[in-house]
Amino acid sequence: MRTRNAPTAAVLALSIGLLATACGGDDDTDTTGGEGDSGGVSGEVTMWTYPAIADEPTHRAFWNDTVAAFNAEYPDVEVTVEIFPWADRDQALTTAIAGNSAPDVVYLIPDQLPAYARNIEPIDDYLSEDEKADYRQNVVDSVTIDGQMMGAPILQSVLALVCNKQVFDAVGQTEYPETWDDLLELAPTFQAAGFDMTAYGGDVANSLNLSFYPLLWQAGGDVFNEDGTEVAFDSDAGVRALEFVQQLVENGYVDSAQLTTEPPLEQTRIAQNKVACVWHMEPQYLVDFWGAENVVVRPPLKDAEQIQYGTVGSLSMLRSAEDKEAAGAWIDFVTSAERAAEYDTAGRFFSTKESVGSLYEGDPILGELEQYAGLTTVGPLNAHAREVMGVLAPEIQAVLVGDKEPQQALDDAAEAANALLG
Amino acid sequence: MTVSGIAVASRRSLRRREARVGLLFVLPVLLLFLAFRFGPAIAGGVLAFTDYTIGAETSWTGLDNLRRMIDDPLFWRALRTTLIYSLLAVPLSILASLGMALLVRRSFRGVRLFRSIFFLPVVTSLVLAGIVFTWIFSEGGPWSSLLGAVGLPDGSWLSDTALVVPALVIVAVWTRFGFGMLILLARLQDIPRELEEAALTDGAGAWHRFRYIVLPELTPALYFLAVIETTVSFQVFDTVYVMTGGGPAQSSYMLVFQLYDQAFRYFDFGYASAIGLALFVMTLVVALIQRLTLGRDR
């Protein structure tokens, strides 16, 4: 009997073993060194960031150097920087937070802050007073929710109008558009010569901060009312902005391929030197396709207002961070004026600190762009901003494909959006 | 006890022991299935009755999410699109599978190569297929060029609110017919050739041999395929995500896409779970209907 039962027992043991292996966690114990010299700050910090510096080796080298410099000051803090792709970053972060495997520090932009606000440890108390006071006020405002900074800004990006000199030369135009009316006036000439006046990315996966919202702001409108309790994009300004887009589409002044999908940049007419001006792209990304000599940076388009979107990238600490002092020290170190300026220059961004001043003086592209930093906004800091985009973007697309008129589309979107706002 | 009685008891005892050993062999998979598939499914069902979101207190909300779902026009739109997509994709996929299985049923030179080639789309990544088909259906792409050459409108199907679902159906049929072909081919090769030869001798034509001999033998496999294809169609996501993003103007916005949006864009896991629960009930009901029709007495 004993012999016959042996296989049964072996299989049972194997089953339990396999299950234990599958379900078991990582039992490795923390081997971080003891108390350090810097105020006893020690522990482990894991940071998730994204390819803000497009060249991967340069990006990786920056973080390696920064970790080494940080460790010279804080030898007992072990920092791991993980660089993830931009795509699906919210999905990855959400899953990690839900699964209790979130990083301690993560790169976020203002658009994301309200959604994660519950999970974020306000950073005010972890930043040194000098560094905190050095931030520009509009930068601080862009990461502040309920009076607390939800992240330490490390970079600022700026969008303006970018035109292709090669295309203007081919058409024989020397004047660049400054207003919506200029754009519409010039468009037939470019169209007759086989060029698109501009481009509009209507794919619902795109952020409206890059496409429709700048037009809405320029028309004098806004996404939400002042207290954020209702949407305001269905105003006359909103209708005017959407009618402007409709005009561009119906007259064939933009490439229809980008109205419903977002092809890779190299497959677009923008990359093929067939588009005169764009307002949704940073000029540095166009240099490879247009040539630096053809990239002309102009002020943001103007209608009732002259305004554009620009974002602020910040490092936020999650509440789940175990070694908050260590994470705070790391964030303070990385976002210091000197270190952040190095990061901004490598990534061709702009500084968030007063003390840094101009990073690109004399640069015909970035130096020009830097001048318009004051004309940018980070967009609505509303907890429902993304949901509202989710209902508005398809309605805008319905106008682009000819299914709805602007007023109807905005009214329908407003009804759905206000229901979300409660 | 008689000798035969002892023999019967011994055989029973042996079978019980074999059953126990068999059970233990499947136990690891069973436990993993319970822990990682059944458990999360039950948890998802429970979440549908809460307001669970990341980092906040979770409270019991009763039927609120289901009520919200009933009042949500986007849910009904996504449901309708999912049903239209499935009504097109499931029969077409099965028909294509059947057609290809009949084509490669006979042995001829190179048939194995053809079978392998036809199965290739099944093992191709849906994301990759989605990217390739996005190009195929794009304005100026092969599909629109072909339509233009025969005098039909040559716009991008993915930008057309009426044609985007048929475009997704074509991709679904292309990616799935190989699996159905394999299942039906296995069943076809089990049908005794003598039956068809006898019918041929009696003067039955190709259609009658198919209708009265082949098709009845295929019914269990067709039932299986119908259930699988329906389930897969209800859960379509990858190609929608890659090719259309639910657009244009939400004309290809389907249930799993809405579930994804609610969970991972808006972090409303309670509502997302309610949509998942509705999808489960819908799949179950359709599978039961299929069992009552196609799967009778099987």
pLDDT tens column, B84-126: 999 999 999 999 999 999 999 888 888 888 888 899 999 989 9
Encoded tokens for B178: 């190989």
CB contact under 8 A, A204 and B245: yes
With vertex at residue B52, the alpha carbon angle to CA B51 and CA B56, rounded to the nearest 5 degrees, is 105
B76 touches chain A (CB under 8 A): no
What phi, psi does A159 have (nearest 5°)?
A: -115, 145
Q: Residue A108 — very low, low, confident or very high, per pLDDT cuts 50/70/90?
A: very high
Q: Which of residues 100-119 of A touch B (CB under 8 A)?
A: 115-116, 118-119
Min mean pLDDT across A247-251, B82-86, B137-141 is at: B137-141
What percent of chain B is predicted at pLDDT more than 90?
51
What phi, psi does A376 have (nearest 5°)?
A: -110, 160
What is the 3-class SS of chain A, one letter each residue?
CHHHHHHHHHHHHHHHHHHHHHHCCCCCCCCCCCCCCCCCCCEEEEEEECCCCCCHHHHHHHHHHHHHHHHHHCCCEEEEEEECCCCCHHHHHHHHHHCCCCCCEEEECCCCHHHHHHHEECCHHHCCHHHHHHECHHHHHHCEECCEECCEEEEECCCCEEEEHHHHHHHCCCCCCCEHHHHHHHHHHHHHCCCECCCCCCCCCCCCCCCHHHHHHHCCCCCECCCCCCECCCCHHHHHHHHHHHHHHHCCCCCHHHCCCCCCHHHCCCCCCCECEECCCCHHHCHHHHCHHHEEEECCCECCCECEECCEEEEEEECCCCCHHHHHHHHHHHCCHHHHHHHHHHHCCECCECCCCCCCCCCCCHHHHHCCHHHEECCCCCCCHHHHHHHHHHHHHHHHCCCCCHHHHHHHHHHHHHHHHC
Mean predicted confidence (pLDDT) in A69-92: 93
A-interface mutation test, from B75, B264, B271, most A Cβ less than 10 A away: B264
Condensed to tens digits (0 to 9), the pLDDT of residues B175-213 reads 999 999 999 999 998 888 888 888 888 888 888 988 898
**CB neighbourhood size of A49 (10 A):** 21
Helix H or strand E segment including B229:
helix B215-234
What CA–CA distance (Å, rounded) separates A304 from A220? 5
| pLDDT value for A111 | 87
What CA–CA distance (Å, rounded) separates A45 from A78? 6
Mean predicted confidence (pLDDT) in A259-283: 91
Distance from CA of B90 to the nearest CA of A (A): 26
A265 touches chain B (CB under 8 A): no
A59 touches chain B (CB under 8 A): no
| pLDDT value for A33 | 36
Please check the confidence at residue A1 and state whether its pLDDT lies above 70: no
What CA–CA distance (Å, rounded) separates B220 from B242? 34
Distance from CA of A229 to the nearest CA of B (A): 18
B54 touches chain A (CB under 8 A): yes
**Set of chain A residues whose Cβ sits within 8 Å of the Cβ of B54:** 94, 97-98, 116, 118-119
**CB distance B181 to B119 below 8 Å:** yes
Amino acid at the residue A219 = A
ipTM of the complex as predicted: 0.71
User: At a CB cut-off of 8 Å and minimum separation 6, what does B178 contact?
Assistant: B97, B100, B118, B119, B120, B121, B122
Please check the confidence at residue A346 and state whether its pLDDT lies above 90: yes
**Set of chain B residues whose Cβ sits within 8 Å of the Cβ of A403:** 161, 249
Q: Report if pTM > 0.90.
A: no
What CA–CA distance (Å, rounded) separates A282 from A109? 16
Nearest CA in chain B to A13: B24
**Set of chain A residues whose Cβ sits within 8 Å of the Cβ of B28:** 14-15, 18-19
- State the count of interchain CB pairs (< 8 A) between A and B: 109
Exposed/middle/buried for residue A421 (C-beta within 10 Å: 0-12, 13-18, 19+): middle
Condensed to tens digits (0 to 9), the pLDDT of residues A22-50 reads 333 343 333 333 334 566 889 999 999 99
Q: Domains plus CATH for chain A? A: 43-158+311-371 (3.40.190.10), 161-308+384-421 (3.40.190.10)
